[in-house]
């Protein structure tokens, strides 16, 4: 019997297994396969191109997103950790003004995403974070934080399904099979409701 002793490493972004010589590493420990390395986003120009495309898809779903009050930036994994979100790939911070007798009002938002992720992952992460901004702009009310995460994950899924990026099938598979009860579990729950009822009925449950 012959055993292959060569170790396979999972790519941080697409979860495909590769031999060591097909893997590159960032200083912060992320290991990327040769396919993902070809698609990494490291400039704000490219970040903005992806963000504009994502916004267009969200508008095509029928949502009204108020443009001009949301800033998108690339940050290091270290900076994300310092912000208190060690494992987050993206983070949306909404600034809202509170009124005593009126509904709270969204002022602006800052979206931070990790520097150097591949385009397909960025499409997913940006759609999710723009989902949180949309929720804040319209002051949609959810029963729980988990349900809001499910909504943002569903948004990410519906936008990502429109993408022709060659690595998107891997990202869709990875996200849909995520064992995490929030990011995976709530996504599967939201997706099942969306398929059963259609988007507008699913959506009416919380607006």
Contact status: 41 vs Zn ion (CB under 5 A): no
Residue nearer to Zn ion on the CB measure, 14 or 159: 14
> How many residues belong to the site for Zn ion (CB under 5 A)?
7
Q: Are 35 and 16 in contact (CB under 8 A)?
A: yes
Contact status: 11 vs Zn ion (CB under 5 A): yes
Distances, alpha carbon 10 to alpha carbons 2, 18, 175, 188, 207, in Å: 23, 6, 15, 23, 40
Scanning 22-30, 32-40, 43-51, 62-70 for contacts with Zn ion by CB under 5 A, the matching segment is 32-40
Contact status: 51 vs Zn ion (CB under 5 A): no
Residue nearer to Zn ion on the CB measure, 27 or 100: 27
DSSP label of 40: B
Chain centroid to CA 142: 19
Rounded to a whole number of angstroms, the minimum distance from the CB of residue 47 to Zn ion is 18
- Which member of 33, 54, 154, 171 binds Zn ion (CB under 5 A)? 33
Round to whole Å and give the CA distance between 152 and 32. 25
- The mark string for 103-142 relative to Zn ion (x by CB under 5 A, - otherwise) is ----------------------------------------
Rounded to a whole number of angstroms, the minimum distance from the CB of residue 128 to Zn ion is 6
Q: Are 193 and 202 in contact (CB under 8 A)?
A: yes
Helix (H) or strand (E) holding 73: strand 70-75
Residue nearer to Zn ion on the CB measure, 32 or 74: 32
153 φ, ψ to 5°? -70, -40
- Restricting to residues 147-166, name those near Zn ion by CB under 5 A: 149, 152
Round to whole Å and give the CA distance between 51 and 54. 5
Percent helix, strand, coil in the chain (nearest 5)? 45, 20, 35
Contact status: 14 vs Zn ion (CB under 5 A): yes
- Which member of 20, 29, 36, 173 binds Zn ion (CB under 5 A)? 36
Q: Which residues bind Zn ion (CB under 5 A)?
A: 11, 13-14, 33, 36, 149, 152
């Amino acid at each position: 019997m012959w055993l292959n002793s060569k170790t396979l490493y999972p790519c941080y972004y697409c979860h495909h297994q590769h031999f060591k010589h097909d893997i590159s590493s960032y200083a912060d420990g992320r290991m990327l396969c040769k396919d993902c390395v070809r698609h990494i986003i490291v400039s704000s120009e490219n970040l903005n191109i992806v963000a504009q495309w994502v916004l267009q898809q969200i508008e095509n779903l029928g949502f009204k997103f108020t443009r001009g009050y949301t800033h998108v930036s690339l940050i290091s994994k270290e900076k994300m950790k310092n912000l208190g979100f060690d494992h987050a790939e993206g983070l949306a911070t909404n600034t809202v003004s509170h009124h005593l007798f009126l509904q709270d009002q969204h002022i602006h938002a800052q979206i931070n995403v990790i520097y150097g992720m591949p385009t397909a992952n960025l499409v997913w992460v940006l759609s999710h974070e723009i989902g949180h901004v949309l929720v804040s702009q319209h002051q949609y009310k959810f029963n729980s934080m988990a349900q809001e995460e499910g909504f943002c994950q569903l948004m990410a899924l519906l936008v990502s399904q429109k993408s022709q990026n060659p690595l998107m099938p891997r990202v869709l598979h990875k996200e849909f099979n995520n064992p995490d009860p929030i990011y995976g579990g709530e996504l599967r729950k939201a997706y099942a409701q969306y398929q059963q009822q259609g988007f507008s009925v699913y959506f009416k449950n919380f607006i």
